[in-house]
């Protein structure tokens, strides 16, 4: 299916566009309808459950579902354990209904869930839980969303998502690039959700990129008092 599917991707998606970033042309697909994202997420949930591989969704898709972020997203980020879990995920992504682009226009390592009835594609990014700022499966707090017993999708809880987003904000290229608006929406929405629910976070104890990202945020937006509603001991 590989070569044929790659041509199919371009034949059915006339809306594929090229964005200019850092003097490079980057091809992107238009955001799919939210229903297609859920169809992809449910498929991944079912296949990983069959293989007894734990997982959690993170990134924008998780922020929309458990962080109350009012935006759309083009892809799904999913974290699984190292070794067996990640190899299992790659096995799922390497066969239909997933495809890869072999034409060289889109990133060669990206996988796309093909919604045949609509000729739409959902990009899926696999992550090893425990890598960099992503919590391990054992350390992650999971929120389940959906109808029990079998269709409850696993999401990283809001505080964990906020820590991830702050870690990303420490990356100057990211916070000044095309993902800036989405990250801003995610960070403010999740922070305000936690405040409204009177949740407390240890912001003073954040490490490495998480701490750097929060300092960069406060320096730019001058909203220290807002963050102190999560941790009164945080001084910026």
**Long-range contacts (CB closer than 8 Å, 24 or more residues apart) made by 179-187:** 182/60, 182/71, 182/73, 185/69, 185/70, 185/71, 186/60, 186/63, 186/67, 186/69, 186/71, 186/161, 187/162, 187/217
Return the residue matching tokens 């045949």.
116
Q: What is the mean pLDDT of residues 158-170?
A: 98
Q: What is the DSSP letter of 13?
A: -
Give the pLDDT band (50/70/90) at residue 31.
low
> Widest CA span of the chain, in angstroms?
58
Q: Which residue has the higher pLDDT, 5 or 148?
A: 148
Helix and strand totals (H; E) in the chain: 9, 9
Q: Which fold has domain 1-156?
A: Beta Polymerase; domain 2 (3.30.460)
Residue 148 has a pLDDT of 74
Q: Which residue has the higher pLDDT, 18 or 68?
A: 68
Q: Find the range with the poorest average confidence among 41-50, 70-79, 104-113.
A: 104-113
Give the pLDDT band (50/70/90) at residue 10.
very low
For the cut 50, the answer to whether the pLDDT of residue 14 exceeds it is: no
pTM beyond 0.75, yes or no: yes
Q: What's the pLDDT tens digit per position in 116-149?
A: 777 788 999 999 999 999 999 999 999 999 887 6
Beta strands in 5-164 (DSSP E): 17-21, 24-28, 56-58, 75-80, 98-99, 111-115, 120-128, 142-147, 151-156
Query: Hey, what are 121's tokens?
Result: 């594609």
Residue 19 pairs in a beta bridge with 26
Residue 11 has a pLDDT of 42
Residue 12 has a pLDDT of 41
Residue 27 has a pLDDT of 45
Residue 28 has a pLDDT of 54
Share of the chain above pLDDT 90, in %: 71
Q: What's the pLDDT tens digit per position in 55-103?
A: 999 999 999 999 999 998 989 999 999 989 999 999 999 999 999 877 7
For the cut 90, the answer to whether the pLDDT of residue 4 exceeds it is: no
Domain ranges of the chain: 1-156, 158-236
Q: What's the pLDDT tens digit per position in 193-236?
A: 999 999 999 999 999 999 999 999 999 999 999 999 999 999 99
Q: What is the mean pLDDT of residues 183-197?
A: 98
């Amino acid at each position: 299916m590989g070569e044929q599917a790659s041509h199919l991707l371009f034949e059915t998606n006339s809306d594929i566009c090229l964005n200019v970033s850092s003097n490079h042309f980057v091809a992107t697909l238009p955001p799919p309808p939210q229903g297609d994202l859920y169809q992809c997420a449910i498929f991944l949930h079912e296949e990983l459950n069959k293989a007894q591989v734990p997982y959690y969704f993170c990134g924008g898709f998780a922020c929309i579902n458990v962080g109350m972020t009012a935006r759309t997203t083009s892809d799904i980020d999913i974290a699984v354990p190292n070794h067996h879990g990640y190899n299992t995920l790659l096995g799922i992504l390497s066969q239909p209904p997933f495809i890869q682009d072999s034409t060289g226009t889109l990133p060669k390592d990206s996988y796309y869930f093909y919604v045949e009835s609509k000729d739409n594609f959902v990009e899926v990014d696999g992550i090893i839980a425990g890598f960099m700022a992503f919590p391990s499966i054992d350390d992650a707090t999971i929120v389940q969303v959906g109808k029990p017993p079998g269709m409850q999708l696993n999401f990283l809880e809001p505080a964990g998502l906020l820590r991830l987003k702050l870690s990303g904000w420490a990356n100057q290229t990211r916070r000044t690039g095309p993902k800036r608006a989405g990250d801003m929406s995610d960070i403010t929405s999740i922070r305000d959700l936690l405040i409204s629910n009177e949740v407390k976070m240890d912001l003073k104890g954040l490490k490495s990129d998480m701490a750097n990202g929060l300092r960069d945020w406060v320096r730019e937006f001058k909203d220290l008092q807002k963050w102190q509603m999560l941790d009164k001991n945080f001084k910026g």
